């Protein structure tokens, strides 16, 4: 298989978002992962309204003002894919999401590629079995530009890309976006509120990368 086509993968969901009452319905988008979608900043502050789930919510609402959207964050700071997988059915699938984003690769560097892969596969397969759309996120933040274990960060980014291709899901390649920012002369410190947590600018890059998966549809 291959990574899903960006212009088609979420087209049905985009169409649902464009419907108006009484033909519309509530759309549930679940952001699952570690401290990034949870909104952790510095000194244990959880900066919810500057984190990418909230920024994505605002982007979608600006395009689709008639839509009813629940942006649900099931992320836990410090968690990795193994622990996230254990609560996936209870905390994520039970919400009957239309779309799930999975963002664990940054912390998965500490459990290893093989264990992380099994956990990601389990979550992906559980979601696809229920015909739920999935977007996988490569690690962003300091992983893309840091000199700390750069080869390990690259390996996890490659693994997430491979899983997206293997299962035909969407892919928000945050690692590539952050790398491009640094390659253009930007400093990773521009995007961080803490050693490994994004500020609003960093989160905005991630939100935009996810938002690209929602195609602009012509009026009905």
For residue 194, pLDDT beyond 90: no
For residue 37, pLDDT beyond 90: yes
Average pLDDT value for residue range 78-100: 98
- More confident site: 136 or 141: 136
Phi-psi region for residue 62, left (φ > 0), alpha (ψ -120 to 50) or beta? Answer: alpha
Pairing mode of beta strands 192-194, 197-198: antiparallel
Q: How confident is the model at residue 149 (pLDDT cuts 50, 70, 90)?
A: low
Average pLDDT value for residue range 186-198: 87
Q: How confident is the model at residue 147 (pLDDT cuts 50, 70, 90)?
A: low
For residue 29, pLDDT beyond 90: yes
Average pLDDT value for residue range 30-38: 97
Residue 149 per-residue DSSP state: S
Average pLDDT value for residue range 151-163: 93
Mean pLDDT of the chain: 93
Contact at 8 Å (CB) between 152 and 109? Answer: yes
pTM across the whole model: 0.95
* Burial of 131 (C-beta count, 10 Å sphere; 0-12/13-18/19+): exposed
The highest-level CATH class for domain 11-211 is alpha beta
Please give the pLDDT value at position 220: 57
Q: Could you give the percent of the chain with pLDDT greater than 70?
A: 95
Average pLDDT value for residue range 63-86: 97
| Range with the poorest average pLDDT among 97-106, 127-136, 189-198 | 189-198
DSSP string across 36-67:
HHHTB-STT-B-GGGSHHHHHHHHHHHH-TT-
């Amino acid at each position: 298989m291959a990574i899903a086509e960006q212009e088609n993968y979420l087209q049905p969901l985009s169409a649902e978002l464009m419907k108006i009452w009484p033909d519309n319905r509530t759309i549930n988008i679940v952001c699952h992962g570690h401290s990034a979608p949870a909104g952790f900043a510095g000194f244990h502050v959880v900066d919810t309204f500057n984190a990418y789930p909230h920024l994505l919510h605002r982007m979608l609402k600006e395009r689709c003002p008639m839509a009813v959207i629940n942006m649900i964050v099931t992320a836990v700071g410090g968690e990795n894919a193994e622990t996230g997988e254990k609560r996936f059915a209870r905390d994520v699938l039970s919400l009957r999401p239309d779309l799930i984003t999975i963002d664990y690769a940054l912390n998965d560097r500490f459990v290893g590629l093989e264990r992380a892969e099994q956990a990601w596969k389990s979550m992906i397969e559980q979601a696809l079995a229920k015909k739920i759309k999935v977007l996988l996120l490569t690690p962003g933040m300091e992983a893309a530009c840091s000199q700390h274990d750069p080869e390990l960060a690259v390996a996890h980014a490659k693994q997430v890309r491979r899983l997206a291709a293997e299962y035909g899901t969407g892919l928000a390649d945050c690692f590539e976006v952050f790398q491009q920012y640094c390659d253009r002369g930007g400093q990773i410190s521009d995007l961080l509120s803490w050693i490994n947590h994004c500020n609003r600018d960093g989160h905005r890059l991630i939100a935009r990368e996810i938002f690209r998966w929602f195609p602009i549809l012509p009026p009905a």
